[in-house]
């Protein structure tokens, strides 16, 4: 484990202090048997201490330096028992207890005490110093063991806290998924009941119109509109079912209700992941089909053109383009019925653009369908475009209303 910089500085200061002060406390330092022994022990202790400080992060070198420092420091303390030399042995004992397993740290502490006692007896150190400092070595070793146990408990507490955080995050995610499933069920119930009722009424209206004895062109037109509305209702319900299945994620089989798989009325992101040109030519084909559908269903001309060479486009980006075209064509029918619409898909050098334009509506007032819808279509499309890394702008340009989507590609 890494040690704080302040602790490392204090240890270095202790080594320097001992190296500087021991010669001051020793008469005839470096001369005579005792002076030479003290000088040799001090030199070995200093070199081992510096190596030990620099070996942080290299366990084997760190342990070897600590063992040498324990033996040399204990001998130095025994030879100069009344000087600051004792600090080296104290540092060895507490560090061993705090960083090493009990058996290993006890062996190093015992080695330090043994070297201290042998050197102390040989140099004639006072008995009270031998007993007191020996007790001090083992006392600091025991303190190191206590600190080691504290550190282990701190690590365990941190791990337990991290596990608690992960458990809380998992619970939060599970709650979010459960809420998504609940919302999906609510949406399904609302759509199922509402659209089923609409479908029933449309079928009843179709039957009543078929029963009319005199069917003029206006009645035929009404019957055609009713049939188209019924088909759109069924397709809208099927597409909503597919979207709800994507919203639900409750760990089950994903089935909202029994029965065969829903038909495929409109595109999903996976529809654009084909071979060859995913999101390129496939997008152009779907947009052309969409333009043909609106041209057949309404009384306005819808012109679709492609400029440039279609390039591969991500599935989500292609779906964003398709939804933009759907919304823009629907808005044109609501706000400017009967007006021609131009749908242009172009591929400049570094992007894909989709431009939908139609003449501005007449200033007389709102059309009957102008207030239909929730009013959040373009807002949702801007959010889609942003998620795909692009931009969407809408507004008047001269005498035209334009919706322009630009996506990177």
Q: Which residue has the higher pLDDT, 273 or 355?
A: 355
Q: What would the two tokens of residue 62 be?
A: 């760190």
Q: If you search the block for the tokens 């070198």, which residue do you land on? A: 61
Contact 363, 371 (CB under 8 A): no
Q: What is the pLDDT of residue 124?
A: 87
For 171, half-sphere exposure in the C-beta direction (CA atoms, 13 angstrom radius) is 6
User: Using CA atoms, how far apart are residues 409 and 405, in angstroms rounded to an integer?
Assistant: 12
Entry field: residues in the chain: 409
> Structure tokens of 34?
């005792």
CA distances 402 to 307, 395, 408, Å, are 18, 6, 20
Cβ-proximal residues to 72 (8 Å cutoff; 6+ apart), any chain: 41, 44, 45, 48, 88, 115
Contact 97, 141 (CB under 8 A): yes
- Which residue's entry shows tokens 């333009």? 291
294-310 pLDDT, tens digit per residue, is 887 666 788 999 998 88
Q: CA 269 to CA 275: how far, in whole Å?
A: 14
- Look at residue 265 and tell me whether its pLDDT is greater than 70: no
Q: What percent of the chain has pLDDT over 90?
A: 27
Where are the domains positioned within the chain?
A: 5-125, 277-408
Contact 369, 334 (CB under 8 A): yes
Judging by DSSP bridges, how do beta strands 341-346 and 302-307 pair with one another?
parallel
| Overall CATH class of domain 277-408 | alpha beta
In the predicted model, is pLDDT for residue 251 greater than 50?
Answer: no
Are 337 and 367 spatial neighbours (Cβ–Cβ below 8 Å)?
yes
207-220 pLDDT, tens digit each: 777 777 776 777 77
Q: Give the strands of the sheet with 302-307, arranged side by side.
A: 302-307, 341-346, 351-359, 400-408, 391-397
Q: What is the mean pLDDT of the chain?
A: 81
Structure confidence by residue, pLDDT tens digits, 310-368: 888 888 888 889 889 988 888 888 788 878 999 999 998 888 999 999 998 766 655 55
**In this predicted model, what pLDDT tens digit does every residue of 186-205 receive, in sequence order?**
776 677 667 777 877 887 88
């Amino acid at each position: 484990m890494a040690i704080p910089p302040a602790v490392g500085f204090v240890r270095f200061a202790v080594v320097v202090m001992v190296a500087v002060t021991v010669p001051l406390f020793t008469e005839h330092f470096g001369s005579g048997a005792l002076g030479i022994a003290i000088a040799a022990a001090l030199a070995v202790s200093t070199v081992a201490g510096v190596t030990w400080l620099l070996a942080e992060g290299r366990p084997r070198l760190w342990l070897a330096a600590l063992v040498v420092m324990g033996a040399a420091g204990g001998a130095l303390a025994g030879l100069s028992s009344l000087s600051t030399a004792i600090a080296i042995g104290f540092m060895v004992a507490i560090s061993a207890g705090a960083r090493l397993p009990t058996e290993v740290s006890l062996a190093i502490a015992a080695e330090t005490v043994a070297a201290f006692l042998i050197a102390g007896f040989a140099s004639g150190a006072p008995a009270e110093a031998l007993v007191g400092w020996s007790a001090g070595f083992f006392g600091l070793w025991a303190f190191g063991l206590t600190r080691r146990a504290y550190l282990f408990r701190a690590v365990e507490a941190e791990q337990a806290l991290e596990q608690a955080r992960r458990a809380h995050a998992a619970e939060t995610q599970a709650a979010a998924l459960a809420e998504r499933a609940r919302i999906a069920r609510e949406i399904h119930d609302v759509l199922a009941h509402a659209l089923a009722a609409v479908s029933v009424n449309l079928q009843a209206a179709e039957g009543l119109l078929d029963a009319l004895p005199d069917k003029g062109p206006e009645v035929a037109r009404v019957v055609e509109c009713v049939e188209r509305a019924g088909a759109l209702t069924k397709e809208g319900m099927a597409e909503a079912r597919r979207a709800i299945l994507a919203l639900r994620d409750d760990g089950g089989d994903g089935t909202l209700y029994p029965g065969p798989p829903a038909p495929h009325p409109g595109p999903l992101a996976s529809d654009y992941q084909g071979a060859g040109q995913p999101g390129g030519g496939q997008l152009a084909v779907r947009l052309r089909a969409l333009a043909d559908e609106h041209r057949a269903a309404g009384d306005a001309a819808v012109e679709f053109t492609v400029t440039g060479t279609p390039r591969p486009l991500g599935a989500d980006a292609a779906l964003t383009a398709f939804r933009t075209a759907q919304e823009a064509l629907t808005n044109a029918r609501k706000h400017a019925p009967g007006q021609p619409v131009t749908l242009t898909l172009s591929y400049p050098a570094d992007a894909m653009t989709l431009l939908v334009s139609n003449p501005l509506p007449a200033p007389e007032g709102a059309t009957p369908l102008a207030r239909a819808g929730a009013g959040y279509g373009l807002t949702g499309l801007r959010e889609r475009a942003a998620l795909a890394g692009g931009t969407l702008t809408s507004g008047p340009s001269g005498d035209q209303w334009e919706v322009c989507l630009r996506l990177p590609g």
